[in-house]
Structure 1
């Protein structure tokens, strides 16, 4: 049987950290001037969907 780590972070903290990371990626991608390619647009859409999913998970844990 596996023992849980004593200093492991909570799942909520992990989700908050992931959300912060995704938000910083969005800021980086949106900072590029000019038109975005179709691939970049799809990546931005996927990141926003992941952030929405994380928000729903965090709201469910409250």
Structure 2
């Protein structure tokens, strides 16, 4: 559990940082050349889903 409660701007910054981190990970995992393995495809799908969730949270703010 988180002991401290973050204020709204801090949460937004955290979400933006998380999105930037996921974008960088996606660039590493998502190879446009060659064939993706099943694990790569699942990882890419999960990262994109997490990024969409973050976008929704940011739009609500």
TM over 0.5: yes
The Cα shift of 1:34 comes to: 1.4
TM-score computed with the length of structure 2 as normaliser? 0.80
Segments of 5+ residues of structure 2 without an aligned counterpart are: none
Classify 1:4/1:43 alpha carbon distance in 2 versus 1 (closer, same or farther; 3 Å): closer
- Over the aligned positions, Cα root-mean-square deviation in angstroms equals 2.2
Segments of 5+ residues of structure 1 without an aligned counterpart are: none
Residue 13 (structure 1) aligns with: 13
- When Rg is computed on C-alpha atoms for both structures, the one with the higher figure is 1
Residue 22 (structure 2) aligns with: 22
Matched residues in 2 for 1:48 and 1:4: separation?
29
C-alpha distance after superposition, 1:1-22 (max 9, x if no partner): xx858xxx70000000000000
Residue 57 (structure 1) aligns with: 57
Task: Kindly report structure 1 stretches of 4+ aligned residues shifted beyond 6 Å.
Answer: none
